[in-house]
Amino acid sequence: MTLASLVFAFFCIITIIVYFIVPKKIQWFVLLIASLFFLFYNNFSWQTVCQASIILLTSYFIGRKLEKYQNTKKAKWFLLLGCLIIIGLLGYLKYTNFFLNTIKHFLSLFHISFKFKKVTRTTLVGLSYYSLIMISYLVDIYRGKNKSEKNIFKLALFMSYFPILSSGPFVRFSEMKENLFKKHKLNYKALCNGLIRILWGVFKILVISERLAMFVNTVYSDINQFNGFYLILAALMFTLQLYTNFSGSIDIIMGVSEIIGIPLPENFTAPFFSRSITELWRNWHITLGAWLKDYIFYPLLKSDFMQKINTISKKKLGKKIGKKVPLYLSMLIMWLCIGIWHGGAYTYVIGSGLLQFIYIFFEDNLASLANKVYQKLHIKTDTFSFKLYQIIRTYLLFSFSMIFFRAPSVKTALKIIQGMFVFNPWILLDNKSLFTAGLDLLDFRVLIISLIALFIVEYLSTKGKVREKLAQQNIVFRWSILYLLIFAIIIFGCYGVGYDPATFIYEQF
């Protein structure tokens, strides 16, 4: 079930109506039924039921044991067992091919041939999300941050809460449990705010993202014909396509959950106003970053192994440089994890992992040198023009890494980069070449106007909550904006023939 679809809208309306008319005591149970329906909507089979059950039962029983044996050695073993089962299952279901492929490449270095058949396994929507969410549930009990849930059905709801299944955000049990099982009354303000957010999300997906996708898909489907500036434009557009698709879906999810009465943590805060890649990642997929920091990066950095490396590197390289060694090593491991989490392919490992690490590494190490150069050349760094330069530079670097993310293979990605060097800027000017790649003049006009609207809203969001500002305006203005959004979606939304709107990019993860 895709988020920007009538089926999902219908599903949400029914769920919300039933949720608010049943006795308040069983409201959470309605959410559980709806969530299970959503979870198994596409793939209901004994295998998928088994997958979900293994993760749920593991989390439930290990969680109980962790609480019982807290602060003992046994707890450590139970935690390890729980994490191994969940990660093992995730690996088995999603990464078998990636794993075998890596072995194959490794063995080929020694001229040993290794053949394997690609396996395809049916997985449930959101597997990568709820696996990590349940790991954080277990680790938090181990760390004494929250108690284990005694009611397995309540835990099942936490695991499968439908709004977060398809694209996050990552939530923690401690921040969800109160609202998830609380009795809720329909709140008019939350309903209005939620609806606006949903509409804005649908607008982002159907009007902007899907339109960008038409161009990007056309160019990427034939990179020999569409080279040079077509490829450059497609790379720049894909970053925006990914963002509007992903953040639009998050808007829909947050809106639905807000109406139900369960606020979710923000996942994006205007990432394209970031002046460095480091800053961009603080504003992009925020909850994934926080998850990795709490459950991989910090524990890794604090581990005995890294501390040993710390001692050795400080001795060999001096204190200042030495202490950076374990830091970068932990960072590298974390970024590789991010890459692998995005999918079992080298394109993700490079695009959303390795390249990001390299950017951040250089940003961190060249900062003081760059400052010295700016001072020598008398370049003012607190001016609008300099900030704009930094924003554009960040966008270009990020778009470059996303070429790998989008391309079907590393080979193709390299070919695309090579193809960008064909010099053909006239395609932008000759009034027809540009329109051969999936979008006509009207599409481009709609796109430019919508992107300006997006840019303005994003800018305003950095200054405060846009919806609250909107609520302060006169009723005529508020309704005009609302109608404008609705009509823009109806008239300018991209619904191809026999085409399911917005097969959500992040859903595959």
Report how far residue 270's alpha carbon sits from residue 279's, in angstroms, rounded to the nearest whole number: 11
**Cβ-based nearer residue to another protein, 141 or 231:** 141
Least CB distance from residue 311 to another protein, whole Å? 10
Count of residues interacting with another protein (CB under 8 A): 17
Residues 6+ apart with CB under 8 A from 54: 85, 89
Least CB distance from residue 331 to another protein, whole Å? 9
327 part of the interface to another protein, by CB under 8 A: yes
Using CB under 8 A, pick the residue from 42, 72, 144, 388 that binds another protein. Answer: 144
Phi, psi dihedral angles at 502 (to 5 degrees): 55, 70
Which has the closest alpha carbon to 86: 132, 118, 129? 132
Please choose, out of 38-46, 81-89, 290-298, 419-427, the segment that lies near another protein by the rule CB under 8 A.
290-298
Which has the closest alpha carbon to 387: 274, 504, 223, 225? 274
CA dihedral 164, 165, 166, 170 (to 10 degrees): 50
Which CA distances in Å does 357 have to 98, 193, 212, 329, 425? 21, 37, 27, 10, 32
301 part of the interface to another protein, by CB under 8 A: yes
Please choose, out of 98-106, 292-300, 339-347, 488-496, the segment that lies near another protein by the rule CB under 8 A.
292-300
* Residue 332 CB-density burial (10 A; 0-12 exposed, 13-18 middle, 19+ buried): middle
145 part of the interface to another protein, by CB under 8 A: yes
Least CB distance from residue 94 to another protein, whole Å? 27
Residue span 234-273 as binding mask against another protein, x where in contact by CB under 8 A, dash where not: ----------------------------------------
- Cβ atoms of 278 and 364 within 8 Å: the answer is yes
**DSSP character for 145?**
S
Residues 6+ apart with CB under 8 A from 378: none
Residues 119-138 that bind another protein (CB under 8 A): none
Least CB distance from residue 73 to another protein, whole Å? 14
As a three-state string, the secondary structure of 443-469 is HHHHHHHHHHHHHHHHHHHHHCCHHHH
298 part of the interface to another protein, by CB under 8 A: yes
Residues 6+ apart with CB under 8 A from 334: 292, 293, 296, 297, 300
Please choose, out of 158-166, 227-235, 316-324, 456-464, the segment that lies near another protein by the rule CB under 8 A.
316-324
Using CB under 8 A, pick the residue from 25, 111, 185, 319 that binds another protein. Answer: 319
Helix axes 475-492, 441-463, angle to 10 degrees: 140
74 part of the interface to another protein, by CB under 8 A: no
Which has the closest alpha carbon to 298: 330, 269, 340, 270? 330
Using CB under 8 A, pick the residue from 299, 386, 461, 482 that binds another protein. Answer: 299
Least CB distance from residue 263 to another protein, whole Å? 21
318 part of the interface to another protein, by CB under 8 A: no
In degrees, rounded to 5, the angle at the alpha carbon of residue 383 between the alpha carbons of residues 378 and 387 is 105
Please choose, out of 153-161, 298-306, 336-344, 402-410, the segment that lies near another protein by the rule CB under 8 A.
298-306
Please choose, out of 85-93, 315-323, 334-342, 434-442, the segment that lies near another protein by the rule CB under 8 A.
315-323
Please choose, out of 59-67, 108-116, 186-194, 300-308, the segment that lies near another protein by the rule CB under 8 A.
300-308
Cα atoms found within 13 Å of the Cα of residue 233, Cβ hemisphere only: 27
User: If residue 52 lies in a helix (H) or strand (E), which one and from where to where?
Assistant: helix 46-68
Using CB under 8 A, pick the residue from 294, 296, 325, 424 that binds another protein. Answer: 294
332 part of the interface to another protein, by CB under 8 A: no
**Cβ-based nearer residue to another protein, 296 or 481:** 296
In degrees, rounded to 5, the angle at the alpha carbon of residue 130 between the alpha carbons of residues 129 and 131 is 95
Residues in the chain: 509
302 part of the interface to another protein, by CB under 8 A: yes
The end-to-end CA distance of the chain, in Å, is: 15
**Cβ-based nearer residue to another protein, 125 or 301:** 301
381 part of the interface to another protein, by CB under 8 A: no
Residue span 28-67 as binding mask against another protein, x where in contact by CB under 8 A, dash where not: ----------------------------------------
Which residues here bind another protein, judged by CB under 8 A? 139-140, 143-145, 293-294, 298-299, 301-302, 307, 310, 319-320, 323, 327
